[in-house]
Amino acid sequence: MSNNIALYLMGGSVAALVIIVIAYILVNKALNKGERKYIRELRQGTKTNKFSSDILYQKLYMIYIKVPGIKRYLLKLRRRLEIISIQDEYQTRRQASSMITKALLIIIPLTILIIVMAHSNLLLLGILIIFEVFMIETIIEGMVSKLDTKLLKEQVEFFSEVRHAYHEYNMVEEAIYQASQDDELEISRQGEKIYEILISNDPEEELEKYYDIAPNSYLKEFAGISYLTREFGDRKTDTGASLYLKNLNNITQEMQIEILKRDKLDYVFQSLSVISIIPILFIETLKNWAVSNFSFTRSFYDGKVGLIVQMLIIVLTFVCYLLIRKVKDTTSNTSSKNTQNPWQSKLYKIPILKKFVNLFVPKKGTKQYKNLTRLLKDAASKDKMEWIYINKLCLTVVVFIVSIFFMDRIHKTAISYIYDQPTTSFNLISMSAKDEKAAIELTKIDNVFLDMFKGETKVTKAMISAKMTASPYYKEATPEEIEIAADRVYTKLQTINSEYIKWFEVLIGLVLASVGYMAPTWILYFQKVLRQLEMEDEVMQYQTIIVMLMKIERVNVEMILEWLERYANIFKGPITKCVNNYESGAWEALEELKNDITYQPLITIVESLQAAVEKIPIREAFDELDTEREYYQEKRKASNEKLISRKGMIGKGIGFAPMIVLFVGYLIVPLVAIGLMSMTDSFSTLSGMI
């Protein structure tokens, strides 16, 4: 009995356990169902029926990052945008994807247009497709520059908000925090970053880190002045105004001058890049129009000379396009160029190539080494000397190979022209359709005999005449007609057999290669000229920095030099050298700086710094900068006007050069010259017949 009770208890326990498990599953399922319903309701409430461009750009970003060619530009673009959209990955991806998409929307239709217009000329088509690679970079660079200028304009409004908040709170960090509350503005992220720096445990160290990633020098100045004011306190000027707010006003004036300068340069250069590119897009169209309307120009456009002029226009367009980009150059100190590990650095790390490149790099201490080092500094180039020589050697090899390829192409074009041109007994300015058909048939007959003797250098007219007499084409021809035909074929054959790469053409290739070798140095000289135009503008920025620092307590000459080094571009090398040597002797370091520079306004500043080291306070040494502030502002504006005028004149000269060469050298001159020659030959032939 007891055994039966035990069995009943065990069975009941198992049944109860099964019921509990089933009940738990059912209840849990019901709860999950309710939770899923609740989540669906929440999602339904937050869903939008409108198109979301942000989500689209995020998805496009994931596609672009997987495409090899586009990935390169995307990562290059990110380096610029990460600085502007500081610590905001979502915003960086959205902006990068948006810019790449807009660039593709321009390039894809342009590619289709190029294929339609140049499909008959595969060489030109290939060059134009390669040229588009450079255009993509320019389009993206233009978009980033616009974003950079937009940030600069936002800074003006941001500083105004900081001014109002400072009046209310009388605390620098609180004023910056209040002005950074608008999340839709790019400048708000920068303001939040500066606020975090000011309230951090080690603001000086964090500030140094920020200087390396700040989008422009004006934010560096703002962050530095805000830190100094918070650290040493604000003070009243002689007029009773806040020194911090006055410095803020000085930075704002500098930004407004820079914004006007960029807007004017954008206006001057807005169409020059397009104008410089247009000629190569219409080379084939212009050629077809000229040949269809003036058939006598076929000998020029389908021959060697036409191809040479065509290549010269393409090279000229490419050079002018690059020069216009450098002339405009309104970007800030931040650059998208990878100066840490570019392709030159990767090549230089290969042991064999490194040894080969070092054979050309001048040794330290030599005159050539010193001259090139100074040139790199004067041009404000961030490239290393080894990278310059890698560029030189690569260009030398590429230019030589390309020049030999084009010479071979020129010879093939000349041979092709002989095989394809209509053959006439004398030069006609124009011919009827019937005459042209007969001339083409005569060319085909000549081609049969050209193929027989092509490549044979010991062919005589008699051998050609014998073949013609035995051929079905001249069964009914008279001996005089056969002799005329043999002379014509012999002349063509001599031309065909002479169309090969000769020793002097290889020499021309070597000369062009030497030009390619020197090109990087010439570009540095060109950059140096442009930097010289901007020297006055940079020195006036130094004056603004000194005006802001000179009235702050505990500021010394060394601190002023550190600030100048931070914002220097053209004179960065000499100023950095002075800062490094300052501790070993202030006066001597400044004297060496004065000897390293040749620009007189900067020499005047250095002399004032020397006076402030030993003789008089900083405020007295630079007193004239404060009292003549308005004069320097007007001078700065006039200097910018002069700079814009000079750049505009240089840019227009470079931008219109390809267009002028296209119409004058590729259309007008051939029409006039070949037309006159054809008329002269025709009249001479007619006179002989009479």
Give pLDDT, residue 683.
64
The length of the chain in residues reads 690
DSSP 658-679: HHHHHHIIIIIHHHHHHHHHHH
> Which residues, 6 or more positions from 431, have their beta carbon under 8 angstroms from its beta carbon?
295, 422, 424, 439
Structural domain contains residue 103:
yes
Are 482 and 468 in contact, with CB atoms under 8 Å apart?
yes
Give pLDDT, residue 330.
53
Are 488 and 446 in contact, with CB atoms under 8 Å apart?
yes
Closest CA to 244 of 257, 255, 232, 258: 232
Structural domain contains residue 195:
yes
pLDDT at residue 341 is higher than 70:
no
pLDDT at residue 678 is higher than 70:
no
- 15 three-class SS: helix
Distance CA 84, CA 86 (A): 6
Structural domain contains residue 101:
yes
pLDDT tier, 690 (very low <50, low <70, confident <90, very high otherwise): low
Distance CA 639, CA 257 (A): 11
- What's the token pair of residue 358? 């070092």
Closest CA to 499 of 428, 393, 410: 410
For the chain, give the percent of residues with pLDDT over 70: 85
Mean pLDDT of the 418-426 span:
70
Give pLDDT, residue 333.
41
pLDDT tier, 433 (very low <50, low <70, confident <90, very high otherwise): low
pLDDT at residue 42 is higher than 50:
no
Are 521 and 375 in contact, with CB atoms under 8 Å apart?
yes
Structural domain contains residue 621:
no
Give pLDDT, residue 28.
54
Are 128 and 281 in contact, with CB atoms under 8 Å apart?
yes
Distance CA 191, CA 186 (A): 9
For the chain, give the percent of residues with pLDDT over 90: 3
Structural domain contains residue 176:
yes
The count of structural domains within the chain is: 1
Structural domain contains residue 114:
yes
Mean pLDDT of the 256-274 span:
83
Are 159 and 222 in contact, with CB atoms under 8 Å apart?
yes
Q: For residue 471, which phi and psi values (nearest 5 degrees)? A: -85, 155
Domain that holds residue 155: 72-270
Q: For residue 236, which phi and psi values (nearest 5 degrees)? A: -90, 145
Give pLDDT, residue 350.
86
Mean pLDDT of the 161-175 span:
88
Give pLDDT, residue 397.
92
494: exposed, middle or buried (Cβ count in 10 Å: 0-12, 13-18, 19+): exposed
Are 126 and 115 in contact, with CB atoms under 8 Å apart?
no
Average of per-residue pLDDT values in the chain = 79
- 46 three-class SS: helix
pLDDT tier, 518 (very low <50, low <70, confident <90, very high otherwise): very high
Are 529 and 432 in contact, with CB atoms under 8 Å apart?
no
* pLDDT tens track for 104-136: 888 888 788 777 777 777 767 777 777 777 777
Give pLDDT, residue 23.
56
Structural domain contains residue 182:
yes
- For 423, which DSSP code? P
Distance CA 87, CA 572 (A): 28
Give pLDDT, residue 396.
92
Give pLDDT, residue 511.
92
Structural domain contains residue 137:
yes
